[in-house]
């Protein structure tokens, strides 16, 4: 029995957590344990309508966008995403707000003896907790983001009204496959007979797999960027299921977010949600995506981004072209199992100074190893707070400090900045 939030968090900290674990999984990965867990709980995931989103790049943004549009349309919403940046309650949101501590304590107590009997992982517990809370709060729609892959992800027990697959690229190759076709096949594991689906524009090898696996139910998001830069993207989306036109403004950096907006709109159309263009425009214009090329200061520029694979690094580099600055100070830390060399090949040419660091995670790469890739001025620090402090001391008012490399680095940077602001 968990009496307090602190007790619940302490228990979760002792559970198997593949997100923070170095190396491949040491337990069998599959849906059997998750199915037993939700089955014993009475299938709470069947108490609400859901949307399911997989992909390599952009799935979190699409999830936030779809939820924001549903909320603007007057629905009660649940949102389940991962990982979190600062507070684990970010993973489970009710009507746009992080779940109250008491709700998560209630959900873990509701699982009770099942935790001891089935020994679910951290992610399985959080997923089941989200379903229990969404059912208890009687949400109309739950937007559910896949954690890893799709076919064997714990979220794949749901029966969604529609699915979306965002851009597929190389990532988690030790678990999902070495080729783009193999990775796309794992992502396509969320597609189900009779369930309509939408996909972001894909590279040919991935698109072929998705179309074949969807069996004719897949539509591709369609959009046109009218203008991008200065922290705003203006684009026109053509609904792939209705042909309706949506003119939207996104208060975000990076033209890639136009594809995410088009995918979110297509997902909602696929699910049969009646969308009013004016409501869509209001929802997206007020959007805030923490840790996604997030601007936290302007003199100097201070930009925090959770880019953690080469495709994310390319999107960040493209967005930075719209930032006028004198110098760029790159603060970079990555997980050892990521393709950080490919990320640095993208990001280092645009950096005048690189500061290498590490998050407080067993997966973090040694910053001294990262620094070997530098061809220009570089520093090595032992923590994100130290790296960020050094970058801010060295940056002039017309410079840009860019913090990136992993969600963990981004999260620690945001926590540090919030603590400084509150202090």
Q: Does domain 294-422 have CATH number 3.90.190.20?
A: yes
Supply the pLDDT for residue 315. 93
SS (H, E, C) the chain: CCCCHHHHHHHHHCCCCCCCCCCCCCCCCCCHHHHHHHHHCCCHHHCCEEEEEECCECHHHHHHHHHHHHHHCCCCEEEECCCCCCCHHHHEEECCEECCHHHHHHHHHHHCHHHHHHCCCHHHHHHHHHHHHHHHCCCCEEEEECCCCCCCCHHHHCCCCEEEECECCCCCHHHHCCCHHHHHHHHHHHCCCCCCEEECCCCHHHHHHHHHHHCCCEEECEEEEEEEECCEEEEEEECCCCCCEEEEEECCCCCHHHHHHHHHHHHHHHCCCCCCHHHHHHHHHCCCCCCCCEEEEECCEEEECCCCCHHHHHHHHHHHCCCCCCCEEEEECCECCCCHHHHHHHHHHHCCEEEECCCCCCCECCHHHHHCCCCCCEEECCCHHHHHHHHHHHCCCCCEEEEECCHHHHHHHHHHHHHHHHC
Per residue in 144-190, pLDDT (tens digit) is 999 999 999 999 999 999 999 999 998 887 788 999 999 999 999 99
Mean pLDDT of 321-349: 94
Domain ranges in the chain with CATH number 3.40.1190.10? 5-285
Supply the pLDDT for residue 340. 95
Are 303 and 400 within 8 A, CB to CB? yes
Per residue in 197-252, pLDDT (tens digit) is 999 999 999 999 999 999 888 999 999 999 888 889 999 999 999 999 999 999 99
Q: Is the pLDDT of residue 127 over 90?
A: yes
Confidence of residue 362 (pLDDT cuts 50, 70, 90): confident
Confidence of residue 96 (pLDDT cuts 50, 70, 90): very high
Supply the pLDDT for residue 14. 92
Mean pLDDT of 335-342: 93
Q: Is the pLDDT of residue 54 over 60?
A: yes
Domain ranges in the chain with CATH number 3.90.190.20? 294-422
Supply the pLDDT for residue 100. 97
Q: How far apart are CA 178 and CA 191, in angstroms?
A: 21
Q: Is the pLDDT of residue 7 over 70?
A: yes
Confidence of residue 25 (pLDDT cuts 50, 70, 90): low
Q: Is the pLDDT of residue 321 over 70?
A: yes
Q: What pTM did the predictor assign? A: 0.94
Supply the pLDDT for residue 422. 60
The share of the chain scoring above pLDDT 90, in percent, equals 88
Supply the pLDDT for residue 176. 86
Supply the pLDDT for residue 21. 62
Written out in words, the top-level CATH class of the domain with range 5-285 is: alpha beta
Mean pLDDT of 385-395: 96
The share of the chain scoring above pLDDT 70, in percent, equals 97
Compute the mean pLDDT over every residue in the chain, rounded to the nearest whole number.
Answer: 94
């Amino acid at each position: 029995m968990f009496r307090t939030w602190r007790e619940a968090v302490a228990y979760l900290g002792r559970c198997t957590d593949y997100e923070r674990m170095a190396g491949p999984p040491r337990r069998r990965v599959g849906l059997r344990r998750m199915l037993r867990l939700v089955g014993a709980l009475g299938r709470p995931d069947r108490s609400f309508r859901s949307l399911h989103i997989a992909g390599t790049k952009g799935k979190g943004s699409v999830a936030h966008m779809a939820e924001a549009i549903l909320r603007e349309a007057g629905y009660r919403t649940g949102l389940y995403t991962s990982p979190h940046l600062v507070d684990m309650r970010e993973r489970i949101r009710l009507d746009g707000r992080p779940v109250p501590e008491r709700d998560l304590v209630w959900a873990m107590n509701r699982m009770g003896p099942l935790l001891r009997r089935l020994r679910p992982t951290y992610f399985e517990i959080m997923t089941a907790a989200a379903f229990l809370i969404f059912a208890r709060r009687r949400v109309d729609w739950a937007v559910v983001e896949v954690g890893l892959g799709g076919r064997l992800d714990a979220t794949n027990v749901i029966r969604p009204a529609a699915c979306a697959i965002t851009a597929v690229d190389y990532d988690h190759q030790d678990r999902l496959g070495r080729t783009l076709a193999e990775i796309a096949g794992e992502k396509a594991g969320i597609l189900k007979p009779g369930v309509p689906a939408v996909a972001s524009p894909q590279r040919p090898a991935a698109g072929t797999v998705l179309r074949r696996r969807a069996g004719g139910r897949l539509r591709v998001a369609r959009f046109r960027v009218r203008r991008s830069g200065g922290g705003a993207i203006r684009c026109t989306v053509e609904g792939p299921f209705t042909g309706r036109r949506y003119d939207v403004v996104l208060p975000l950096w990076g033209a890639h977010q136009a594809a995410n907006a088009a995918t979110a709109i297509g997902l909602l159309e696929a699910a049969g949600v009646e969308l009013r263009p004016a409501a869509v425009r209001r929802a997206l214009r007020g959007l805030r995506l923490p840790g996604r090329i997030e601007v936290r200061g302007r003199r100097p520029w201070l930009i925090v981004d959770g880019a953690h694979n080469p495709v994310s690094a390319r999107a960040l580099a493209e967005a930075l072209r719209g930032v006028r600055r004198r110098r760029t100070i790159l603060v970079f830390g990555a997980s050892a199992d990521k393709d950080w060399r490919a990320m640095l090949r993208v990001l280092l040419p645009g950096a005048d100074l690189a500061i290498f660091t590490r998050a407080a995670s067993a997966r973090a790469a040694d910053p001294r190893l990262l620094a070997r890739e530098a061809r220009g001025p570089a520093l090595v620090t032992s923590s994100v707070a130290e790296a960020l402090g050094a970058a801010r001391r060295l940056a002039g008012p017309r410079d840009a400090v860019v913090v990136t490399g992993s969600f963990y680095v981004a999260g620690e940077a945001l926590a540090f900045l919030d603590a400084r602001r509150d202090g």
